[in-house]
Structure 1
Amino acid sequence: MALHHLKPAPGSRRRSERLGLGEGSGGGQTATRGQKGQRSRSGDGKMSGFEGGQTLLIRRTPKRGFTNGPFKLTYQVVSLFDIERVFKNQRDVSPDGLKIHGLIKGGKPVKILADGDLTQAYKISAHAFSKSAVEKIQKAGGAAQVLSAKPKPAVEAPKAEAKKAPKAAPKKG
């Protein structure tokens, strides 16, 4: 059996009601929305947290603390077990190779953790390693190379030149 031969169980999927198709359909004219009012209009709805005009709870409560969310450095973790399983015939392991083999997605730096054992010597380059991972890599005869966590720009941005103020036009008169 293939996926394109599968069908849902009878009665498990109900057809969506088609509204606004004339009075005879049972859902015509107002399309079951009633006569007038906010909820009958297109794009109806209130913003989340709306309390009927009263000041919202989120605005009544004070701000607290600090969040560093957008600037926080988060790693994609890869275990030695995964490296041993995927890179059987290769000795060099890099973030590009990890991405090709589907162990990571692009964009974030990579950290190697010591889950599992190595039977072969690998030269692993990543942005961070756990201490025990470095010990296991070196014990197997391999090497751990630390890459910089934040990639440097390929080309330096040109520096803006100071603009000279335009000369004032002579006054008439």
Structure 2
Amino acid sequence: MELNGIKPAEGAKHAKRRVGRGIGSGLGKTAGRGHKGQKSRAGGYHKVGFEGGQMPLQRRLPKRGFKSQLLQFNAQITLSALERLGAAEVDLLSLKQAGLVGELIKVVKVIKSGSIGKAVKLNGIGATAGAKAAIEAAGGSVA
């Protein structure tokens, strides 16, 4: 293969559409812009969603829903994850070091999913009512 023999793949390149070059081209006279109006003029266009002054669709529809940006700092872990961790005392730092929650997390809550047999003491970690009952039944505590 030579440098002067390299060609683009078949169909990768195509001729630029030349408008306004006579009737035979199919794009003569108005050059595919139709007759009159703002869109036929040079430099005449409008922003996306503009409907000629009519209330645009995105403003006619009702606003709905909200997603709090604080949720990115919250996490939850399960009882079965606590069981696998196998620590007697669990706090936010130990969960981060074990890789159970992300580094940015500030609030952790234990949810009742799975079961726990070991006694675990939670420091600075919340728990749902069901999870708290299961932890206390196993001999642990929620501080």
Q: Which TM-score applies when normalising by structure 2? A: 0.56
Q: Does residue 1:94 correspond to 2:103, yes or no? A: no
Query: Which consecutive residues of structure 1, in runs of 5 or more, have no partner in the other structure?
Result: 1-20, 38-48, 146-173
Larger gyration radius, structure 1 or structure 2: 2
How much has 1:133 moved relative to structure 2? 0.8
Which has the larger share of helix?
A: 2
Q: Secondary structure at the match of 2:104?
A: coil
Q: Does residue 1:34 correspond to 2:16, yes or no? A: yes
Query: Which consecutive residues of structure 2, in runs of 5 or more, have no partner in the other structure?
Result: 20-46
- 1:46-74 C-alpha deviation (Å, 9 max, x unpaired): xxx946x6566435x34424525325587
- The share of aligned pairs that are identical, in percent, is 19
- Seen in structure 2, the aligned counterparts of structure 1 residues 81 and 71 have a Cα distance that, compared at 3 Å, is closer
- Selected match of 1:112 from 99, 110, 113: 110
* Residue aligning to 1:58: 58
Matches within 5 A, 1:3-152: 25-26=7-8, 31-32=13-14, 34=16, 50=48, 54=51, 57-59=57-59, 61-65=60-64, 67-71=66-70, 75-87=74-86, 90-108=87-105, 109-145=107-143
Q: Secondary structure at the match of 1:25?
A: coil
2: CA distance between counterparts of 1:143 and 1:33?
Answer: 75
Note if contact 2:73-2:104 (Cα within 8 Å) is conserved in structure 1: no
How much has 1:23 moved relative to structure 2? 9.3
Note if contact 1:111-1:126 (Cα within 8 Å) is conserved in structure 2: no
Q: Which TM-score applies when normalising by structure 1? A: 0.48
- 1:60-102 C-alpha deviation (Å, 9 max, x unpaired): x344245253255873111111111122xx2111121111112
1: CA distance between counterparts of 2:51 and 2:101?
Answer: 47
Note if contact 2:95-2:101 (Cα within 8 Å) is conserved in structure 1: yes
